[in-house]
Amino acid sequence: MDKALKKILVVDDDRHLLELLIDTLTAIGYESMGVSDGLEALECLKTHKFDLVISDIRMPGLDGIGLLRKIRRYYSDLPVLFITGVDMPEVIGKASPDGLLAKPFRISHIEEMINDALSGKEEVVANAIRKVLVVDDDDTFREMLSDALRYNDYIPFAAAGGKEALRELENGSVDAVITDIRMPGMDGIELLKTIKDQYPDLPVILTTAFFDRDDLESSLGDQEADGFLEKPFRVEKVMELLERISPVARPSSH
């Protein structure tokens, strides 16, 4: 790996630590830039291309967790390492960074974590399904499915209904949609038809606890879903279906 070609963005509101990290990265051969909060980082990402982001978690304004979620949304192939002096396993687990540097850390450890993160980035297959929009008016189910997707290395987004889902699609691209059929307002069938009209290549999986094949086929008309899951279903079934409809096989997690 040619370090001179790798650019790293460092985000930390501690000016002393920020300068120390930039000096350290320069010393071991990386090109780096530093900003003091998440909002500044997002502005930098709009105008500069980076291979990795190293971010503190606790910062004023947009913190590390919020920054990571924005990066996963708009720069999904960009790896993110967290640095923190506070042990927050539950928060970090839900956020799913590509690595964690606990303060104080050794230079050798920083270099090892960077190498692992950048190696993982190079293994990503661009066409594979990674970002999945979960649409369901049941808060508990929506959160559980999102957590399961996150655990299996997907990047989930959530919407409580059809109209909210369409707004999410306008704000940024996703690779697949999993939607309940029975929802107030715009239901899953109407959402499917709208998506296929506006985003014809976007896969849509339908889910429901009230399955009647004749009713479903009648409601769909000439439109076809890319998959169907009858509630309750095992998490493995979701992953198998996403694998099957993905343009290419997903690489194993690094």
Whether residue 49 contacts residue 25, with contact meaning beta carbons closer than 8 Å, is answered with no
* Domain housing 178: 131-245
Residues 154 and 102 in one domain: no
Residue 196 belongs to a domain with what CATH number?
3.40.50.2300
Residues 44 and 118 in one domain: yes
Q: Is residue 230 part of a domain?
A: yes
Average pLDDT over residues 227-243: 88
Q: Which pLDDT score is estimated for 109?
A: 79
Enumerate long-range contacts of 92-97, CB under 8 Å, 24 or more apart.
92/57, 94/147, 94/150, 95/64, 95/65, 95/68, 95/69, 96/68, 96/150, 97/68
Whether residue 96 contacts residue 118, with contact meaning beta carbons closer than 8 Å, is answered with no
pLDDT at 4 over 70: no
Q: Which pLDDT score is estimated for 38?
A: 94
Find residue 206's DSSP bridge partners.
Answer: 179, 228
User: At which of 122, 156, 187 does a domain end?
Assistant: 122
Q: Is residue 254 part of a domain?
A: no
Q: Is residue 73 part of a domain?
A: yes
Q: Is residue 177 part of a domain?
A: yes
Residues 15 and 94 in one domain: yes
* Torsion over CA: 111, 116, 117, 123 (sign): positive
Residues 183 and 211 in one domain: yes
Tens of pLDDT, residue by residue over 164-219, are: 999 989 877 789 999 999 899 999 999 999 999 999 889 999 988 765 555 666 66
Average pLDDT over residues 92-120: 76
Per the structure, how many domains does the chain have? 2
- Whole-number percent of the chain with pLDDT over 70: 82
- 206 or 123, which is more confident? 206
Report d(CA 196, CA 167) in Å as an integer: 15
Residues 115 and 169 in one domain: no
Q: Give the residue among 12, 90, 16, 105 at the shortest CA–CA distance from 54.
A: 12
Alpha-carbon separation of residue 60 from 17, 38, 90 (angstroms): 16, 8, 20
User: At which of 122, 157, 186 does a domain end?
Assistant: 122
Whether residue 78 contacts residue 53, with contact meaning beta carbons closer than 8 Å, is answered with yes
Q: Is residue 251 part of a domain?
A: no
pLDDT at 11 over 70: yes
pTM score: 0.57
Could you give the strand order of the β-sheet that contains 155-159, starting from the edge strand earlier in sequence? 155-159, 131-135, 176-180, 204-208, 227-230
